[in-house]
Amino acid sequence: MAAGRALAALLAALLAASAQLVPREASFTISLHKVDNTTVTIKLRPGVSPSCRIRIKNVIRSDLKIKSGENVTFTFTCSTPEKYFIMEIQKNIDCVSGPCPFGDVHLYPLGLPRLNRTYIWDVKASTKAGLELKFSTPWLRQIEPGETCPDSISYNINSCIDKATVNIGTFCRNGSVSRVKLLGGVVMSLHLPWHSLLTTSGFNIANRASIKRLCIIESTLKGESSITLMSPNYPLGFPEDELMTWQFVIPSNMRASVFFHNYSLSNCERKEERVEYYIPGSPSNPEVFKLSDSQPANIAGSFNMSLQGCDQDAQNPGILRLLFQVVVQLPQVDENVTHLVDLSKEKNMTVTIHLEGWPSQIPLVSEPVCLICKDPRTCDRVLTLVSGAVYRISFLCKDLSRLRITAEKGIGCMDIRWCQRKVYSLSVPKAITRLPIQLHKFIWKLLATDLINVEITSPTLKLRQHVPEQKCNTSYSYSIVSATPETELNVGVFCPGGSIEKIQMRNNITISLKTFGKGFINESIPQDLKMSFVPHIKDECTFTVSPNPKAKVYLQTPNWHYGLPPYISISWFIIVPSKQTARLGFSKDRMGIACETGRAYINIKEETPGAEETVRREDELLPQPRNMHHNFWVNISNCKPVDKTQLTLQFWVTFADKQIDLGIILAVVAGAGVLTAIGLTVCCVRKKKKKTQNPMVGVYNANVNTQMPGKKGLFGKGRQNNESHVYAVIDDAVVYGHLLKESNGSVAPEVDVYRPFDGPIGSLPPSPPPFSFRKDIKRSSNTEEEPPPLTDTDQDTYTFAHQKSGQSKDSGDANEKDKGDTNVPLLENKEQDGLVE
Ligand SMILES: *[C@@H]1O[C@H](CO)[C@@H](O)[C@H](O)[C@H]1NC(C)=O
Ligand SMILES: *[C@@H]1O[C@H](CO)[C@@H](O)[C@H](O)[C@H]1NC(C)=O
Ligand SMILES: *[C@@H]1O[C@H](CO)[C@@H](O)[C@H](O)[C@H]1NC(C)=O
Ligand SMILES: *[C@@H]1O[C@H](CO)[C@@H](O)[C@H](O)[C@H]1NC(C)=O
Ligand SMILES: *[C@@H]1O[C@H](CO)[C@@H](O)[C@H](O)[C@H]1NC(C)=O
Ligand SMILES: *[C@@H]1O[C@H](CO)[C@@H](O)[C@H](O)[C@H]1NC(C)=O
Ligand SMILES: *[C@@H]1O[C@H](CO)[C@@H](O)[C@H](O)[C@H]1NC(C)=O
Ligand SMILES: *[C@@H]1O[C@H](CO)[C@@H](O)[C@H](O)[C@H]1NC(C)=O
Ligand SMILES: *[C@@H]1O[C@H](CO)[C@@H](O)[C@H](O)[C@H]1NC(C)=O
Ligand SMILES: *[C@@H]1O[C@H](CO)[C@@H](O)[C@H](O)[C@H]1NC(C)=O
Ligand SMILES: *[C@@H]1O[C@H](CO)[C@@H](O)[C@H](O)[C@H]1NC(C)=O
Ligand SMILES: *[C@@H]1O[C@H](CO)[C@@H](O)[C@H](O)[C@H]1NC(C)=O
C-alpha cells in the first residue's frame, strides 16, 4: 500500500519534472462558462518582436480571444511567453438588467498561463445606486501617475457617470484606503505581473444607498502613519461641479493633521471651490476652508473632508486638482505648552522654524512629522513669524532637537545721511535664543547703494578668520559674503575670539551666523558684532587686525576657494603694539598666478613717516618673513589671471618683544646711503611732477586702469571699482582716459585722486609715488630684511628696466605711458616729463 503510494508520488514528481523540462509542450485549456460573461484576450505586447506565437491544434497565431462559453486548448511556440504576451481578463457585470452578483470577487478562470495580466471588472449600475468596493487588508495606497508599485500589483478604479469616465485613482496594495464608494458604474482593474502568486482579487463589491456625490474614499489609519491622496483624475482636473469626500477613520486617542501639497484651482463662474471638514466635537461643522488656507491640524480622531468643485468658465475652465497628506500622530506631551515669541519690537525680520535639513531635504512622507503651531489647530511643518507681532507657538513634535530656526533681518541704507552715525548691533534677539529650538542660521542682509559701504566691528570679542591652520572651533561662526547683482565675493568665515577688530566691505553684505552643535541655544553665549554704514571705501575689503601679542595670526584672501576675483584689491592694517615687533610671513613663495591683463601686486608698508614700501609683482618672489616695528599695511591687488590660475594668499603675523639689533642697523645705514639719495631724487622729481599735473585726470586713479576695456562691470558697479589705487599698468592711455570718463563721471576721479593722501586714514603719510620704488632703497630702509637671495641681482635689473619703461609701479601717468620709451634712462625720462609739464 505504502509502496504503491510512494510509487505514485514518484511518478507524479517525474511527470511534473518532465513537464518542466519540456515547457514547450505545456498546453493550456481555458474554458469559460457562458454565465461568467468573461472574455480572455491574449495578445503580443505592443512593440515587442513577434518571435513567439500561439499554437491551437496546428494553427499558429499571434493573438487569441476566448469568449464566454468557449473552450480552447493552446500552447506557445516558445518557453518564455511572458516576455511577449500579455493577457486581459474582462468580466462584465450587469447590475442594470439582471441581478447584481455581489460579494467577494474572484480571479477567474483558473489555470491561465503565467503572463502579465489585467483583470477588468466592468460593473454597470444605475446612477441611483451606490456601489461599494471594500478591500481586504492590507488595504490600498494611492499612487501618483507614473509611480509604480513595489510588487507590480496595482489597482485602478474608474467611475462611469453617464458616458464619461473619471479616474478615481491608481493604488498599490498595502495602505490605508479601506473602502471606495461610487455612484453608478465602475470599471475596476487589477494588474498582476506574470510571476505573481496572488489568487484573490482582494476586494468585494457591495451595493449601498446612493452617496449623492462622485465618490467617497475611506482611509483607516490605525497607528502613527501618514497617507497621501489625490483628487480624481489627478493631475488633470476634477470633474466640474462635482463633490467628493474622504473619510478618515482614526482612533480617538490619535491626532491627525492635513497638508495640501499640490493643488490648483479652476476658473469658477459660479460657486466657489472649497474643502469642508466635519470634525467631531467642532462647534462649527462643517468647517469650510479655501484650498489656499492652512488646513486643520491636530484633529482628535476620525473626521471627513469634502472637495467641492464649481461651475467652470466654459472658455477657460482651468483645472481643480489636489494632492494632500494626512498625518496621524500620538498626542505630544508638550502639545499644550506655548512659547511666547515677542517680535513686536523687531524690525524687518522673519523667523522660520523648520525641520533640520529644510528646505533642501523634504522629510519622507512616512516619517513622523514635527509640527509648529500658531494656535492649537493651525500647525505646519514650517512656520514663519514676522517682526512686529507677538506669537504664542507650540510644537507637536516628539523630538524638538530635529527643529531649527532660520532667521533673517534686513538693514538698509540708501542715503548715508540717515545711517552714517548709527551703530547696529548684529546679535540674535532673545526672543529667538529663548526658544527650545536650535538656531541654525541668523542672516543679516545689509543693503546699501554703491557709494555706501559697510563696516563691521567686534570690539570685545574680535574675530578670527577660519583658515586651515586655525579652524574655528566656537559654537557659532559668521560667514560673510559681499555681493552685487552680478557677482559674489566670499569674504570668509569668521568666529569670535581672534584679532580682527574691523572689516570694511563694499557692496551688499550678507552675514550669516551659523551655529554648531547645541551650544548656541544658551543665551549666555556672548555676541558682539556691530555694524555701521560708512562712506565709500577704496578697497574691496579692508581688515583692521589687532593681534594678541602671544598669538600667531593667520589671514587669507577672500574667495579662498575660487581665488580673488580679477582687478580687486584687499588691504589689511595690522596694529603692532608699541613695545613689540611683528613678524610677517607668507605661506608660500609666489602668488602663483600669471596675469592675462593688468598686474597683481602685494604692497607692504609700515605706517611711519619715511617708511618704504615693499612691492612685489605676481612674477616676483613674495617677501621673506620680515620684522615690522610699526603698524603696517598689507595690500593685495589682483590682475585678471590667465585661466585656471587663481590668486589665493595667506600670511601670518607673530609678535616678539622689541629688540634693537645695532649691528644690522649700522650695516644697513652704511650700505644704503647712496641708494637712498637716488631714491629721494626720484621721489622729488616725481612728486613735483604730480603736483603740476592736472589732478582732475586722476594720476593716482591709476586703479581705473586695471580695468581693461570690456572688464568694466565685472563687479557690476560701473564705478571706481578699481580705484583700488592699484599700482597697475596702463598699456593704452587712450583706453585709460576713455574709461575714466565713462566709468565714473565727474565725482569719482577726484575722490580717488585725493584719497590716498587725505582720505579717512588721512593721518597716514602719502605713499611715496610707486615710481620711487626700488629694491635697493627698500632694502636700505627695511633694516631687518634678510640678505637678498641670489636671484636678487636679477630682480634689481629687472626692476630697473621695468621702471624705465615707466610701467611698473607707475600708477598711470598717461603722458608718460604714451611715450613708452624703454630705452630712455630713468632720470632722463623724469626730466623729460618735467619739461613737458
Ligand atoms: C474543454 O475541451 C476539452 C477537450 O477539448 C475537454 O476535455 C474539456 O472537458 C472541455 N471543458 C469544458 C468545460 O467544456
Ligand atoms: C510584465 O510586467 C513587468 C513588470 O510589471 C514588466 O517589466 C514586463 O515588461 C512586462 N512584460 C510584458 C510582456 O509586458
Ligand atoms: C454579460 O455581459 C453582457 C454585455 O455587457 C450583458 O448584456 C449581459 O447581461 C451580461 N450577463 C450577465 C449575467 O451579467
Ligand atoms: C506595508 O507598508 C509598510 C509601511 O508602509 C511596510 O513597513 C510593510 O513592510 C509593507 N508590507 C508589505 C507586505 O509590503
Ligand atoms: C505638483 O504639481 C506640479 C505640476 O503638475 C508637479 O510638477 C509637481 O511635481 C507636483 N508636486 C508633487 C509633490 O506632486
Ligand atoms: C462626515 O462626518 C459627519 C460627522 O461625522 C457625518 O455626519 C457625515 O455623514 C460624514 N459625511 C460623509 C460623506 O462621510
Ligand atoms: C492639552 O489640552 C487639551 C485641552 O485642554 C487636553 O484635552 C489634552 O489632554 C491636553 N494634552 C496634554 C498632553 O496634556
Ligand atoms: C528692511 O529690509 C529691506 C530689504 O530686506 C531693506 O530694503 C530695507 O531698507 C530695510 N528696512 C530697514 C528699516 O532697515
Ligand atoms: C579653539 O581653538 C583655540 C585656538 O586654536 C584654542 O586655544 C581653544 O582651546 C580651542 N577651544 C576649544 C573649545 O576647542
Ligand atoms: C544692494 O541691493 C539693493 C537692493 O537689492 C540694490 O538696489 C543695490 O544696487 C545693491 N547694491 C550693490 C552695491 O549691489
Ligand atoms: C547656559 O549655560 C550656563 C552655563 O553653561 C548654565 O548655567 C545655564 O543654565 C544655561 N542656560 C540655558 C538656558 O541652557
Ligand atoms: C593699503 O590700502 C590702504 C587702504 O586702501 C591705504 O590707505 C594704504 O595706503 C595702502 N598701503 C599700501 C602700502 O599700499
Which pLDDT score, from 0 to 100, does residue 539 have?
Answer: 86
Read off the pLDDT band of 482 (50, 70, 90): very high
45 lines ligand 2 (CB under 6 A): yes
Which pLDDT score, from 0 to 100, does residue 52 have?
Answer: 92
Which pLDDT score, from 0 to 100, does residue 363 have?
Answer: 58
Distance from C-alpha of 332 to C-alpha of 119, rounded to nearest angstrom: 45
Pocket test for ligand 10, best of 445, 484, 508 (most atoms within 8 A of CB): 508
Residue range 361-374, pLDDT digits in tens: 665 555 667 888 88
Which protein residue's CA is at the shortest distance from atom 14 of ligand 9? Answer: 473
Q: How large a percentage of the chain has pLDDT more than 70? A: 73
Residue range 428-473, pLDDT digits in tens: 998 998 898 988 999 999 998 888 999 999 988 899 999 998 888 8
Which protein residue's CA is at the shortest distance from atom 6 of ligand 6? Answer: 278
Q: Which ligand is nearest to the CA of 495?
A: 9
Residue range 388-398, pLDDT digits in tens: 999 999 998 88
Which pLDDT score, from 0 to 100, does residue 524 have?
Answer: 54
Q: Which residue has the higher pLDDT, 125 or 66?
A: 66
Q: Which ligand is nearest to the CA of 146?
A: 5
Domains in the chain and their CATH numbers? Answer: 23-209 (2.60.120.290), 538-659 (2.60.120.290), 665-713+724-760+797-836 (no CATH)
Residue 606 pLDDT exceeds 90 = yes
Q: What is the number of the ligand 2 atom nearest to the C-alpha of 116?
A: 1
Which pLDDT score, from 0 to 100, does residue 758 have?
Answer: 27
Average pLDDT estimate for 134-153: 94
Q: Which ligand is nearest to the CA of 246?
A: 6
Q: Of all helices (H) and strands (E), which one includes residue 17?
A: helix 2-21
Distance from C-alpha of 105 to C-alpha of 121, rounded to nearest angstrom: 9
**Stretch among 317-326, 568-577, 782-791 having the lowest mean pLDDT:** 782-791
Read off the pLDDT band of 673 (50, 70, 90): very low
**Stretch among 130-134, 256-260, 377-381, 779-783 having the lowest mean pLDDT:** 779-783
Q: What is the number of the ligand 5 atom nearest to the C-alpha of 261?
A: 13
C-alpha cell of 646? Answer: 587663481
93 lines ligand 3 (CB under 6 A): yes
453 lines ligand 10 (CB under 6 A): no
Read off the pLDDT band of 520 (50, 70, 90): low
Distance from C-alpha of 371 to C-alpha of 374, rounded to nearest angstrom: 10
Distance from C-alpha of 210 to C-alpha of 213, rounded to nearest angstrom: 8
Residue 298 pLDDT exceeds 60 = yes
Residue range 611-666, pLDDT digits in tens: 889 999 999 999 999 999 999 999 999 999 998 889 999 999 998 887 655 444 44
* Gap from CA of 85 to ligand 2 centroid (Å): 9
196 lines ligand 2 (CB under 6 A): no
Distance from C-alpha of 42 to C-alpha of 29, rounded to nearest angstrom: 13
Pocket test for ligand 8, best of 447, 449, 509 (most atoms within 8 A of CB): 447
Pocket test for ligand 12, best of 539, 633, 720 (most atoms within 8 A of CB): 633
Q: Which ligand is nearest to the CA of 150?
A: 4
Q: Of all helices (H) and strands (E), which one includes residue 263?
A: strand 255-266
Residue 63 pLDDT exceeds 80 = yes
348 lines ligand 8 (CB under 6 A): yes
470 lines ligand 9 (CB under 6 A): yes
Q: Which ligand is nearest to the CA of 245?
A: 6
Which pLDDT score, from 0 to 100, does residue 773 have?
Answer: 30
Read off the pLDDT band of 487 (50, 70, 90): confident
Residue range 710-723, pLDDT digits in tens: 333 333 333 333 33
Q: Please, what is the average pLDDT of the chain?
A: 77
Residue 193, preceding peptide bond in cis (omega within 30° of 0)? no
Hey, which bits of 516-669 come out as E strands? Answer: 530-535, 541-545, 553-556, 569-574, 580-586, 595-597, 601-606, 613-617, 626-628, 632-637, 640-641, 650-657
**DSSP three-state, residue 290:** coil
Residue 750 pLDDT exceeds 80 = no
* Residue 529 burial (10 A CB sphere; 0-12, 13-18, 19+): buried
The strands making up 650-657's β-sheet, listed across from edge to edge, are 553-556, 650-657, 580-586, 626-628
280 lines ligand 6 (CB under 6 A): yes
Which pLDDT score, from 0 to 100, does residue 368 have?
Answer: 66
Q: Which ligand is nearest to the CA of 37?
A: 3
Which pLDDT score, from 0 to 100, does residue 636 have?
Answer: 94
Q: Which ligand is nearest to the CA of 809?
A: 12
* Gap from CA of 523 to ligand 11 centroid (Å): 7
Q: What is the number of the ligand 1 atom nearest to the C-alpha of 31?
A: 13
Q: How large a percentage of the chain has pLDDT more than 90? A: 47
Average pLDDT estimate for 406-431: 90
Which pLDDT score, from 0 to 100, does residue 421 have?
Answer: 83
Average pLDDT estimate for 88-95: 90
Residue 562 pLDDT exceeds 50 = yes
510: closest CA among 489, 540, 536, 532?
A: 489
* Gap from CA of 770 to ligand 10 centroid (Å): 34
165 lines ligand 3 (CB under 6 A): no
User: What 8-state DSSP symbol labels residue 765?
Assistant: P
* Gap from CA of 304 to ligand 6 centroid (Å): 6
Read off the pLDDT band of 147 (50, 70, 90): very high
284 lines ligand 7 (CB under 6 A): no
Q: Give Cα 433 to chain centroid, integer Å.
A: 25
Residue 173 pLDDT exceeds 60 = yes
Distance from C-alpha of 430 to C-alpha of 784, rounded to nearest angstrom: 52
Residue 299 pLDDT exceeds 70 = yes
Which pLDDT score, from 0 to 100, does residue 736 have?
Answer: 27
Pocket test for ligand 2, best of 194, 195, 196, 198 (most atoms within 8 A of CB): 194
* Gap from CA of 752 to ligand 10 centroid (Å): 22
**Stretch among 197-206, 391-400, 555-564, 686-695 having the lowest mean pLDDT:** 686-695
Which pLDDT score, from 0 to 100, does residue 730 have?
Answer: 28
Q: Which residue has the higher pLDDT, 240 or 19?
A: 240
Which pLDDT score, from 0 to 100, does residue 195 have?
Answer: 93
How many helices (H) and strands (E) the chain has is answered by 10, 54
Which pLDDT score, from 0 to 100, does residue 391 have?
Answer: 95
Residue range 780-822, pLDDT digits in tens: 333 333 333 333 222 322 222 233 333 333 333 333 333 333 3
Which residues does 439 contact at the CB level (< 8 Å), separation at least 6? Answer: 404, 405, 407, 428, 432, 433, 513, 515, 520, 521
Average pLDDT estimate for 293-310: 93
Residue 235, preceding peptide bond in cis (omega within 30° of 0)? yes
Pocket test for ligand 5, best of 234, 260, 262 (most atoms within 8 A of CB): 262
Residue range 108-140, pLDDT digits in tens: 898 899 999 999 999 988 888 889 999 998 999
Distance from C-alpha of 634 to C-alpha of 539, rounded to nearest angstrom: 12
* Gap from CA of 410 to ligand 10 centroid (Å): 12
